[in-house]
Structure 1
C-alpha cells in the first residue's frame, strides 16, 4: 500500500507541479511546502456523486485525493462486504486519485459511558473499513464540553479515547485525524486535548474555523498545535469569505507541511468540476505566494 501510494503521489504531484509552473508561477522543486497536495472532502460538492463519478470528477478537476464523508452517495460504509471493500480498493488503485481516508462523525465527549464506548467501537469499525478499502486514515471529532461536567474531566475523557483508537489505528496502518470542531473548536482547548492524547498516531485536523482567529490570533493559535498537526487540513472556498487563507498557507509553507489540503466547500455552483478547477488554481497561486514570502 505505501509503495503504491508514494509512487502514484509522486507522478500526480509531478504532473500538476510542472503544469502549474507554466500557468501560475508554481513553486520550484525543493521549496518549502512543495509536498502539500490538494484534494476534496465529499461535504457538499461531492455528496451526491457515486464512487465512479466521484473518482472521475476528482481526476478531471485535478483533485489528487479525496476524504469520503460518511452517509454520502459514494456508499463506502462499515456494512460493506469483503468483496465490496475489495472493489472500492480496486477502483482507487486503478485511478490516480488517492483515498486519503474516511470522514466520520464519531466523537468522545459523551457523559454516558455506554454512548462513549459505542462511539469508540464504531470508530474501530471505520478504521477496519479504511484499511480494507485502501484508505490512509480516519477523521473523528472531540466534539463538545457538556454542561454540568467539569471541562477538564471531558478533555481527559476525549484524550483517553483518542489514545485508544489511535493505538488501534496504528495496528491497521490508519492515522487518526482529530477535526477542530464543535464546542472544542477553540485551539487552546484542542491543545489541552492533545496534551492528554499523547499517542503519536493521532493529530489535529485543522478545520479553518472562525475560532482560529480568536484570542491572540491565527499565528498564536496555529503555534499551539503545529507540532501535533495531522496529515489533513480542511479549508472552504479559498477565494470567498473573510478567512485569511493566504496567511494560513504562509504558515503551512513556513513549517514545510507535507500533508493534504482538502476542500470542504459550502457553496452550490452550477458546475462543481469547473469550481474545483478554479479552487485548484487559486490554491496554486497562494502556495507560490507563500513560498515567495517565506523565501524573503
Structure 2
C-alpha cells in the first residue's frame, strides 16, 4: 500500500493546479489535445514553412501528405535517402514537432495483380520510411467498390492487403491505418474489413466529415462501433448545399464536430486530431496561411 504523506499530497495538489492553470492559459479547459495538420492543406509550402507554422500555431505534430508538389514522399528530396530522412526527423524533433502520419496513395481494392502489387509496393516503401522517421502511422485507402467484381471479393481484397502490410510492419514501430474514404465510409463495411484484417499493426483513421457527409451516420453511433479500431482522426468542416459541400474554416460549417469530439473525449481517445484542409484538391478554398493557424484556436471551443 502507498502511504500519502503531507508533503507528497501537497506536491500532488500543486501539480494538479499547475496542469489546470496551464490548460486555462492555453484556452483549453483540460489537458490540451494533441493537434496535427496534414500537408494536403499547404501543397506549396517548403519544409521550413511547415515546421515554422507548426511551432508558432501551437501544433504538436505534422501529417505528411506530399511535400512541395511530390505526393510520393519516398521520392521527395527531404526523404529519399536514409540520411535525408534522418536529417528531417531531427529537424522536427529538435523543435518539439512529431511526424505523426505518412499519407500514401495506396489503394487496396484492386483485383488486377499488377495494380495490386504496385499499390502494395508503395505502402511498403512508406512503412519503411515511417520507421526511419519515428513516425507511428502510414495511411492507405480502401478505396472503391468496382462494379465488375463482387462486394465480398473487394472487401476480402482490402482485408488481405491490410494483413500483408501489417506483416511487413510487424518488426517495426509503425502501424498501417485504413482511412474511411472513397466508396467505403459505411461503418458496417469498415467493421467487416477490420474484423477480417485483425492484426496488431492494423488500425483505422476516422475521417469524421467523410462518414457523416457520405454515409449519413451519426458520429456518436459511428464511434461506438469503430472505437476498437480508431487510432487517428481527421477533422474538417464544410457547408452542405444541394448535395455538394464547400469546405470552410473549422466551426463555420455543418459537420457535427461537437458530437464526434465529445464521443472521442468520453471514450478516452488519446490520438491526434489532425486537420485535413483539402487545398490540393480544392484550390479555391482559403489559403493555408489562414486556415492552418486558425485550427488550434477553433479547437478550443470543443475542449
Aligned with residue 297 of structure 2, among 278, 281, 292: 281
Give deviations 1:117-136, integer Å, cap 9, x for gaps: 22112111111111112322
Residues 1:16 and 1:115: Cα distance change in structure 2 (over 3 Å): farther
Tell me the distance in 2 between the aligned counterparts of 1:208 and 1:250.
12
Root-mean-square deviation over aligned CA pairs: 2.4
Residue 42 in 1 paired to residue 18 in 2? no
More helix by share: 1
Work out which of the two has the higher radius of gyration on C-alpha atoms and give 1 or 2.
Answer: 2
Of the structure 1 ranges 34-43 and 118-127, higher mean CA displacement relative to structure 2 is found in: 34-43
Stretches of structure 1 that go unaligned for 5 or more consecutive residues are 1-14, 29-33, 288-296
- Counterparts of 1:35 and 1:69 in 2: how far apart (Å)? 24
Q: Normalization by structure 2: what TM-score?
A: 0.80
Deviation at 1:200, TM superposition (A): 1.9
2:252 equivalent in structure 1: 240
What are the Cα deviations for residues 72-127 of structure 1, in whole angstroms up to 9, with x where unaligned?
45887213122212211221121111110211110110120121122112111111
The corresponding residue for 1:78 is 74
2:180 and 2:211 in contact (8 A); partners too: no
The aligned residue for residue 257 of structure 1 is 269
2:90 maps to 90
1:275 offset after TM fit, Å? 3.6
Deviation at 1:285, TM superposition (A): 2.1
The aligned counterpart of 1:137 is 137
Q: Distance in 2 between matches of 1:168 and 1:119?
A: 14
What is the TM-score when the length of structure 1 is the normalising length?
0.82
**Count of residues paired in the alignment:** 264
1:81–1:62: structure 2 CA closer, same or farther, 3 Å change rule? same
Report the equivalent of 2:59: 63
Change in 2 beyond 3 A, CA 1:16/1:47: farther
Aligned to 2:242: none
Whole-angstrom distance in 1 between the partners of 2:145 and 2:229? 21
Whether 1:269 aligns to 2:286 is yes
Conservation of the 8 A alpha-carbon contact between 1:92 and 1:98 = yes
Greater RCO structure (CA 8 Å; 6+ sep): 1
